[in-house]
Amino acid sequence: MEEVDLSDEMSYDNIIVYSVLYSSVTVVFAMAVLSKFLTNEFRFGFRSVLSLVVLFLGEPLCQFLVKGPGGVVTFALGCLFVYSILPASHLPVGNKAVLITGCDSGFGHALVQKLSSIGMVVFAGCLDSMGPGAVELRNKCTQNVHILQLDVTNKKDIAAVKEYVRGHVAEEGLWGIVNNSGVWYFAELEMTSEKVVQRVMDINLFGAINVTKSLLPLVRQAKGRIVNVSSLLGRIAMEGNGAYSMSKYALVAYTDTLRQEMKKWGVIVSIIEPTGFFTGNMSEQVIKSRKQEIWDTMDEESRETYGKDYLDNIYSHILNSTQRYPRDLTPVIRCMRSSLLSKRPRERYPCGTGADLMMNVYPLLPIWLADSVSSAIGILPKIYKPALLSNQQ
């Protein structure tokens, strides 16, 4: 009688069992990731690349390096971890209502249209409720969009908006606030007057604080969301952006503090941190008016030091550089929507090309290297020199 090697049979059976287990984990993980793509909750990026790496390389690596039941467990845990960092599914829209500031153009304008298209009730605060941006929203959006006059530096406007919103949301409260209003000036700190710094702070920082404080009881009532729009420059300082960075750094600190304080009320606070995009602040008309305002408010000593040609050359360079900024605002709008509706919203949403890398790597760099990186990616041209420096040379 032929002798059967039981060890070979057991080895073969083990291979079959492990293959089935690995295949089962792979199929479940692949279907879970695919479902997020199909529901537009997940787009191509770092996390999608990581998912593909785990999907195609995870199994052979675990089989080769770990082997046995430990390999299967390691692979399953790896898939589970990657899935946990993927965007969560969204809450149903229902009759959720959101207030958005700065809707005349840019991110706010685009977000109103997006949220209107999915059925949300939107209170769109515009600096000019009869301006072209507001008129376009009235023409394009459904009746669930309410256009409101809102200058975030005007306390009477804020109070009027609060009463209007309160009268429309009833007992359900206000689901979300998106503090999007912002203004940007480009000028070196020595050139920037106190008046300009105060204006930037009033809009970018105190506007968000005052709107939030006024409407916070309605958000608390709904256990909703607060979303503040900062910038890459809220964590990375660059030449010429001093006043703007100061306001956004402060906004980040305000958001981080508010996030911790609101947890006990069930209110979630997030911050959006875009890189450079072409918005209303980058239009030719706005840039020229900001340049004139900088010059008009400079003191005489600063004018003599830098000269009008220096300022003109810088702003000419800025105008010529606006083409490099993407006009597709979809990455930012997607993050804003996720911060409002995701079941597991993130605390921070870096968005735009290289945003995640910059936000994570930049703080780890030595200061001299960080300064070099900031200088390299900034928009202040090095070929122009202030009048006083040119005269000395």
| Secondary structure, 3-state, the chain | CCCCCHHHHHHHHHHHHHHHHHHHHHHHHHHHHHHHHHCCCCCCCHHHHHHHHHHHHHHHHHHHHCCHHHHHHHHHHHHHHHHHCCCCCECCCCCCEEEECCCCCHHHHHHHHHHHHCCCEEEEEECCCCCHHHHHHHHHCCCCEEEEECCCCCHHHHHHHHHHHHHHHHHHCCCEEEECCCCCCCECHHHCCHHHHHHHHHHHHHHHHHHHHHHHHHHHHHCCEEEEECCHHHCCCCCCEHHHHHHHHHHHHHHHHHHHHHHHHCCEEEEEEECCCCCHHHCHHHHHHHHHHHHHHCCHHHHHHHCHHHHHHHHHHHHHHHHHCCCCCHHHHHHHHHHHHECCCCCEEEECCCHHHHHHHHHHCCHHHHHHHHHHHCCCCCCCCCHHHHHHC
Extents of the domains making up the chain:
6-84, 97-377
The pLDDT of residue 210: 98
The pLDDT of residue 4: 46
The pLDDT of residue 89: 75
Residue by residue, pLDDT tens for the chain (393 residues) are: 445 444 554 465 566 777 788 788 888 878 877 776 665 555 556 666 777 777 777 777 787 777 777 878 887 888 788 777 676 678 888 889 999 999 999 999 999 999 999 999 999 999 999 999 999 999 999 899 999 999 999 999 999 999 999 999 988 899 999 999 999 999 999 999 999 999 999 999 999 999 999 999 999 999 999 999 999 999 999 999 999 999 999 999 999 999 999 999 999 999 999 998 989 888 889 999 999 999 999 999 999 999 999 999 999 988 888 888 889 999 999 999 999 999 889 999 999 888 888 888 888 999 999 888 888 877 766 666 777 666 666
pTM more than 0.85: no
Just list the catalytic residues. Answer: 244
CATH dotted code for 97-377: 3.40.50.720
